[in-house]
Amino acid sequence: MLRELSIKNFAIIDDLSISFNKGLTVLTGETGAGKSIIINAVNLILGSRASPELIRTSEETAELEALFEVPPESPAARAARAQGFDLSEGLLVRRIIQRNGRHKIYINGRLATVQMLFAINEHLASISGQHAHQSLLKPEHHLLVLDQFGGLSELRGKVSMSYQEMLPLIRRRATLKRQLTEQSERRELLEFQCREIDQSQIVPREDEALEQERQRLKHAERLYETVGRCVDRLYGEQGAVLEHLTEVGRELQALGRIDQALGAVANRVESASFELEDIANELRGYLQNVIFDSDRLEAVELRLDLLQRLKRKYGGSLESVLDHGKEAEEELKHISFLPEQIAEVEEKLDQSYEKLCKLCRELSEKRRKAAERLSAKVQHELASLGMSGTRFEVRFKSSPVDESADPHFLLDNSGIEATGIDRVDFLVAPNVGEDLRPLVQIASGGELSRIILALKAILATKESVETLIFDEVDAGIGGGIAEVVGLKLQSLARFHQVICITHLPQMARFGKDHFKVGKRTYRGRTRTTITPLHGEARVKELARMLGGVKTTKKTLDHAREMMIDD
pLDDT tens profile 165-210: 999 999 999 888 887 777 767 777 777 888 888 888 888 888 888 8
Note the residue count of the chain. 566
- Provide, rounded to the nearest whole percent, the portion of the chain with pLDDT above 70: 95
pLDDT tens profile 429-486: 988 888 899 887 875 666 777 888 888 888 876 656 678 888 767 776 776 778 888 8
Higher pLDDT, 166 or 277: 166
Q: Is the model's pLDDT at 562 over the cut of 70?
A: yes
Q: Region 271-299: what's the mean pLDDT?
A: 84
pLDDT band at 514 (very low <50, low <70, confident <90, very high): very high
Q: Region 75-85: what's the mean pLDDT?
A: 85
The side-by-side arrangement of strands in the sheet containing 513-522 is 125-128, 467-470, 497-501, 24-28, 513-522, 525-532
Largest CA distance in the chain: 164
Q: Region 387-406: what's the mean pLDDT?
A: 88
Q: How far apart are CA 212 and CA 201, in angstroms?
A: 19
- Domain map (residue ranges) of the chain: 1-130+446-533, 180-335, 535-566
pLDDT band at 237 (very low <50, low <70, confident <90, very high): confident
Please work out, in degrees rounded to the nearest 5, the angle formed at the alpha carbon of residue 48 by the alpha carbons of 59 and 118.
125
Number of H helices and E strands in the chain, helices first, is 16, 17
User: What per-residue confidence (pLDDT) applies to 441?
Assistant: 80
User: What per-residue confidence (pLDDT) applies to 206?
Assistant: 86
User: What per-residue confidence (pLDDT) applies to 147?
Assistant: 93
pLDDT tens profile 339-368: 888 899 999 999 999 999 999 999 999 999
How would you classify residue 389: left for phi > 0, otherwise alpha for psi between -120 and 50, otherwise beta?
left
Q: Is the model's pLDDT at 521 over the cut of 70?
A: yes
Q: How far apart are CA 27 and CA 35, in angstroms?
A: 7
Q: Is the model's pLDDT at 133 over the cut of 60?
A: no
CB-based contacts of 31, cutoff 8 Å, min separation 6: 503
Q: Could you tell me which of 79, 80, 51, 77 has the C-alpha nearest to residue 64?
A: 51
Q: Is the model's pLDDT at 263 over the cut of 90?
A: no
Q: What pTM does this model have?
A: 0.60
1-130+446-533 to CATH, choices 3.40.50.300, 3.90.1200.10, 3.30.9.10, 3.90.1490.10: 3.40.50.300
